[in-house]
């Protein structure tokens, strides 16, 4: 039975939408929760203590424990402040859900440097700042669960979201390294790719679709990934109403040739279909495994 009794969880961007659902579900299952949210608008402007405080009130009203934190994940000091809140209040951190995010959607040719920098700072750097502050504690206690939050835009692309997609795809690279560095400390790092109706998706889908895409469908999956019982590390799960599936980066079998004789562009073009085929594709645990399988021609 999934339980977080005696555990402390941090959820960033937890004042609304998916983050709110994650925080409330973890609290329902027994976690003490740091509800982080500076209360900014969708584009990152402004601040408001109300959303984080409201989620804490809802958790307490249901019999749980929660504390609000208003720091921005986009700064190194902010990430440290979020973790400090957990340690000062409860003395430990067990699970971290890096959910904070903003949107500044524009076609690539219209995107400003600030549009790029701010989105990457909150989504990708925001994972770094919080996890960098928490990592020594997770290593020390030889336990931790980390859930990063990617997107179908990061996995597959979406028009007008190059900044958002790049940041979300960057989380996959971060996961793939941290799963290795955390392995011997029982720190498991996984990624959720959610689809849900929130203020970030307002106006994108029909009322019927919105009614079905409740954040609670995703929150139960996040709870498993953040729990002691999570069986894996380095997994990407997509979740929405009525479907949970795995996404993965794979390497095709490709084509081998004599490495002492480089091939010319015409040879590569002639063998394009074989080079790009995903028949018999494999998932790799690490760069080392990929190199070993290449050298072994497996």
Catalytic, out of 164, 185, 197, 257: 164
Residue 22 designated active-site = no
- CA quadruple 280, 158, 170, 203: dihedral, nearest 10: -130
Q: Which residues are catalytic?
A: 164
């Amino acid at each position: 039975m999934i339980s977080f009794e005696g555990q402390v969880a941090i959820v960033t961007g937890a004042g609304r939408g998916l983050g709110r659902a994650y925080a409330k579900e973890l609290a329902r299952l027994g976690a003490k929760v740091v509800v982080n949210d500076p209360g900014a608008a969708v584009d990152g402007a402004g601040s408001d203590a109300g959303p984080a405080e409201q989620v804490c009130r809802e958790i307490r009203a249901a019999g749980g424990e929660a504390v609000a934190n208003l720091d921005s994940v986009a700064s190194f000091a902010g990430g440290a402040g979020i973790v400090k809140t957990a340690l000062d209040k409860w003395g430990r951190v067990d699970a971290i859900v890096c959910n904070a995010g903003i949107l500044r959607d524009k076609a690539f040719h219209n995107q400003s440097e600030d549009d790029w920098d701010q989105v990457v700072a909150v989504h990708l750097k925001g994972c770094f700042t919080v996890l960098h502050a928490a990592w020594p504690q997770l290593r020390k206690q030889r336990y931790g669960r980390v859930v990063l939050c990617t997107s179908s835009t990061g996995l597959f692309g979406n028009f007008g979201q190059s900044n958002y997609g790049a940041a979300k795809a960057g989380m996959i690279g971060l996961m793939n390294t941290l799963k290795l560095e955390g392995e011997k400390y029982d720190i498991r790092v996984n990624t959720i790719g959610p689809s849900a109706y929130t203020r970030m998706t307002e106006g994108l889908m029909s009322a019927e679709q919105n009614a079905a895409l409740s954040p609670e469908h995703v929150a139960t999956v996040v709870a498993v990934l953040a729990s002691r019982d999570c069986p894996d590390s380095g997994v990407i799960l997509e979740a929405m109403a009525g479907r949970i599936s795995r996404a993965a980066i794979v390497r095709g079998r490709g084509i081998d040739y004599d490495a002492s004789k480089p091939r010319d562009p015409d040879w590569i073009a002639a063998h394009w279909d074989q080079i790009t085929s995903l028949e018999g594709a494999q998932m790799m645990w690490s760069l080392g495994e990929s190199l070993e399988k290449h050298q072994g021609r497996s």
